Structure 1
Amino acid sequence: MAALGSVMLRVRSQLGIWRMSGVDPGSTVGELMQRITAEKGVPTEHQQLSKDASHKQPLSPSSSLRAAGLASNGDMLYLKIDADAQVFHSGQESRTSKKIGADGSIMAVSFEEATAENGFRPGMPRLRDIKGTWTLTDFLEMDEQFTYRVKKDKGQNVSEMCTAVTLDGDCLNSFVTYLQQLGWNQERVAFLYGTVEDDKSVTVHAIYEPPQENTPERFQLEDDPRAEQVERLADMLNLKKVGWIFAHPPREESFLFSSQEIMFAALQQLEAADGIEETPFVTVRCHANEEGHGEFDAYQVTLQCMEMVAEGALDENPKNRGSCAVSPTFTAIVEAKAVSSVENQFFLLNVPVKHSTQPRFRRMFPDANRIGTQQSPDLVKDCVTSAGSTAEGLSDFNLLLFLMDFKDMFSWEDDMPRICQAITDPDATLDAGYDLLIRGFAGMELGD
């Protein structure tokens, strides 16, 4: 199990893709480089780390991984290894080569160009640069590591990792209402918080919409200053992140998931399982019917999809959003044929959906990160005065999250746990001091 708060990063280099588990997002790029040296044998002086494959966004060794936007499981960064690094040599033989140009001149061949033609696989070193002597068994075992036989057995399209998901009706209504206000003309994402039951089913009690900038075809999650407090609040309420939901504009009936949505679902399951393991983490798809009302269905991606994403075998497919492109380094075989892309339906497992009409929390305080939405203490007053007690009025995930913005007033270590206990424990009561504090914060008179 990785340390609390640690993530798994993917590092793509000329030698393939490495998964670096247990990485602290607060550590520096230089510390990650030192780990690459220790684990992969690449000296730091021969490493060039970047956020993009073309290395136009180099990373400074002194900058933190979080500041560089590398704080989530599955985030990719790109390592360019200098050609004269010892890792690129077999004995005294250099990895560099020559070719004759059209004018008869002799030119050096770059590593990328040489491996594209002569490498074990595109982007990989030559076999003799990996190991001096190979047997047929060695080669077949090596080649098999880069080959995926993708199939979906008949009758096996229902997930056994998550037996069902129960969705909170108030949460869904709020989510759909906002999408209707947007005219269903852009994607929208939210994270689901709830509980996992003994039968491996999931019950959703709250949703949180992070900051995002979306288009009709894509979603883009932005840095979230509230990310830590959302997780802290969920823990205080005895909840955990159990899934995510995405909504999209109308599509063809057979177009369920884009490649971006498939890969994001896989990364979220990898994070929840802390690796390629079974997890009940669920993906809910929301879409509009002909009347403009929201409809919901739920899925998981297969363990094979999780593995392919973790190893960098899949990528987004700009030519066909309904499929994932296969990295040239890997081979995907579908129906006995090697393919350059895989239809997304091969990766999907259905999860039964149930609906709850008995919400655990109220849904009155405005959601964060919505266009035109304001959160203020005055709205806290409306929530409290409309309830039978202060504790009942505070029983709202978004309201509690808002209180946590005022950390000097509502300490995360002392005050918020006690307030949350008064909400979650039927035998607990809200201390009179907190009742006065909340009412003062909301600008309420003592007699209100």
Structure 2
Amino acid sequence: MAKFVIRIRTKVGTWRMNDVEGKNKVSEIIARVEHDHNIKVGKVSLKQNYSEILSGDERLDKIGAKNGTMFFMEISGGTVVVGNTRRHLDEKGNVVIKGGDNKGIRPGLHALRDKKLHWTLTDMTELEDKYTYKITSDQTERCAKASLDVSACQSFQQYIGQMNYNTCRCGILYGKFVDSEAEAERKKEEEEAKTRRAANIGYGSTKKNMNLSDLEKKTKKEKGARQAVIVEAIYEPPQQGDDKTFTILEDPREAKVDAVAKSLGLTRVGFIVSHPASTDFVLNSTEICNAAEQSLEATQGERDSPFVVVRVTLNEERNVIFEPYTLTPLCLDMVAEGAIEPMLDNPSHCSVVAPFQAIVEMKEEHVIDNDFFVKSVPIVNHTSKVAGGSTKFPRFNRQFAEAPSAASMRTALKGLGRNPNPASLAKALSDFHLLVYLSEVFNLGEGLEDICKWVAKYAYREDEQAAVNLENLQEGYRVLIMSMAGLD
């Protein structure tokens, strides 16, 4: 029987459990969690509100558990152990630092003799450095600019507006990392230099001396961000939110959404969050930690990344604003190592988790201002190639809006007739969310990727002749699509 991974969500965070099989019982999962994290598990459910409590005798395959399934667990006990780190909870669910084992070099670490008998000064220094972070302002540009699709932003803004901008919400940004203008110019100069060397061509008397202005331009170009971000679509996963935070729920479409994006030549380039107007912070600690996890997952753990976090909120004049930021390598490293956690009662700061230590201006601090973790990015806009036509396809996972359906697909394809030409059909299908809806019929490896790649040839064509020369979509796919829309 194939093994898979499940996720365990508790009030202190989400854990992954590997090597799970369908024959395993819920009681076995509980036992593993209690053993691995030194806690007592109470209620277990597949529902975040615990409306349906699971019995310990139930097998995972009988309750529909599969790779990525989220289990919600109520836990008790004041201390959670993750590896060598001890995390203490206060009555509000915040992670706090308390004095740990006196035998350990740091609170929350086991005694040194538990690791090995003999320690050198170098060993001790390396151990100290491993758990110490020096917090400084980071002004390095990692993203030259973020270009957002106008219609995607309008749709996101309109939906949170229906909730009076009082509910936190998030979305995954799909698009492309591209060379910045400075990077494109650098590469052009490198290619020209290679061409001259290959042809043994020198500058001769035409080469001029570099003046101060030229030197400043060259220095600015070399220091500028090498990549920019183009956001083509926003996908909002299943979630629950209130006026303080949001919780991302299990998404049965996650793999299919990623497959649609990949087939279109897109990838995860950012994370968008909305929250009620606040002058206390740019991003709250929950948003920062969630965005950092999204960035690390999307970039395979890359710490120095142009991955953007877009903040949507109201300014003092009650106008909606979109502000992109990048997360600093320090932030990503601390989240990856479990060194910081959100603070529910002080959202403008992150809590430092023992045994880690944060040094700010030569002084140890137990909380860190979120402003140390973000760097603003210039914003521009464009029209996405997969934004759809004038009638936008409904978005998924919106409780107070129209859901994607055959009727909405019929609206998107109306006027094509039963045998549309390739360019007309491809144009109608050039909507990211409509293509995700096709996954209701077309499974992974069974046509979904082929259809998306065919659409991408049209949407991202280099010239209009490519649209004229576009080959027909496979007949079986075309018939099924028209049938889904009720146009067969």
Match of 1:164 in 2: 145
Q: Contact 2:34–2:41 (CA<8 Å) still a contact in 1?
A: no
* Rounded Cα–Cα distance in structure 2 between residues aligned with 1:220 and 1:50: 26
TM-score in terms of structure 2 length: 0.68
Q: 1:242 aligns with which of 259, 269, 283?
A: 269
Q: Contact 2:170–2:273 (CA<8 Å) still a contact in 1?
A: yes
The amino acid of 1:382's aligned partner reads T
Match of 1:131 in 2: 116
Match of 2:287 in 1: 261
The amino acid of 2:394's aligned partner reads P
Q: 2:437 aligns with which of 402, 426, 435?
A: 402
Match of 1:442 in 2: 485
Match of 2:246 in 1: 219
Which range moved further: 307-316 or 286-295?
Answer: 286-295
User: 1:283 deviation in Å?
Assistant: 0.8
- SS of residue paired to 2:154: helix
Q: Contact 2:166–2:243 (CA<8 Å) still a contact in 1?
A: yes
Match of 1:297 in 2: 323
Q: Contact 2:238–2:248 (CA<8 Å) still a contact in 1?
A: yes
**1:368 matched to 2:388:** no
Match of 1:177 in 2: 158
Q: 1:283 aligns with which of 296, 302, 309?
A: 309
Residues 141-220 of structure 1: pairs in structure 2 closer than 5 A: 141-153=126-138, 156=139, 158-160=140-142, 162-199=143-180, 200-220=227-247
User: 1:424 deviation in Å?
Assistant: 1.4
The amino acid of 2:161's aligned partner reads Q
Residues 38-49 of structure 1: pairs in structure 2 closer than 5 A: 49=34
Which range moved further: 364-373 or 113-122?
Answer: 113-122
Residues 326-337 of structure 1: pairs in structure 2 closer than 5 A: 326-337=352-363
The amino acid of 2:162's aligned partner reads Q
User: 1:401 deviation in Å?
Assistant: 1.1
* Rounded Cα–Cα distance in structure 2 between residues aligned with 1:159 and 1:25: 37
- Higher RCO, 1 vs 2 (CA within 8 Å, ≥6 residues apart): 2
Task: Sort the Cα spacing of 1:7 and 1:194 in 2 relative to 1 into closer, same or farther, 3 A.
Answer: farther
* Rounded Cα–Cα distance in structure 2 between residues aligned with 1:165 and 1:80: 37
Match of 1:232 in 2: 259
Residues 414-429 of structure 1: pairs in structure 2 closer than 5 A: 414-426=446-458, 427-429=470-472
**1:309 matched to 2:352:** no
User: 1:26 deviation in Å?
Assistant: 6.4
Residues 25-64 of structure 1: pairs in structure 2 closer than 5 A: 27=20, 49=34, 54-56=39-41
RMSD of aligned residue pairs (Cα, Å):
3.6
Q: Deviations over 1:306-334 (max 9, x none)?
A: 11111111111233110101112111000
* Rounded Cα–Cα distance in structure 1 between residues aligned with 2:378 and 2:260: 28
Q: 1:322 aligns with which of 348, 367, 387?
A: 348
**1:413 matched to 2:445:** yes
The amino acid of 1:186's aligned partner reads T
Report which of the two has the higher share of helix.
2
- SS of residue paired to 1:307: helix
* Rounded Cα–Cα distance in structure 1 between residues aligned with 2:232 and 2:384: 10
Q: Contact 2:6–2:70 (CA<8 Å) still a contact in 1?
A: no
The amino acid of 1:163's aligned partner reads A
Match of 2:407 in 1: 378
Task: Sort the Cα spacing of 1:237 and 1:53 in 2 relative to 1 into closer, same or farther, 3 A.
Answer: farther
* Rounded Cα–Cα distance in structure 1 between residues aligned with 2:120 and 2:454: 67
User: 1:360 deviation in Å?
Assistant: 3.6
Task: Sort the Cα spacing of 1:351 and 1:113 in 2 relative to 1 into closer, same or farther, 3 A.
Answer: closer
The amino acid of 1:191's aligned partner reads I
User: 1:277 deviation in Å?
Assistant: 3.3
User: 1:54 deviation in Å?
Assistant: 3.3
* Rounded Cα–Cα distance in structure 1 between residues aligned with 2:80 and 2:415: 53
The amino acid of 2:101's aligned partner reads A
- SS of residue paired to 1:56: strand
Q: 2:378 aligns with which of 331, 352, 355?
A: 352
- SS of residue paired to 1:287: strand
Stretches of structure 1 lacking an aligned partner (at least 5 in a row): 10-19, 32-45, 71-76, 82-86, 88-111
Q: Contact 1:194–1:204 (CA<8 Å) still a contact in 2?
A: yes
Q: Contact 1:422–1:429 (CA<8 Å) still a contact in 2?
A: no
Q: Contact 1:189–1:209 (CA<8 Å) still a contact in 2?
A: yes
User: 1:171 deviation in Å?
Assistant: 0.3
The amino acid of 2:359's aligned partner reads I
Residues 79-118 of structure 1: pairs in structure 2 closer than 5 A: 115-118=100-103
| Identical aligned residues as a percent | 33
State how many pairs are aligned. Answer: 373
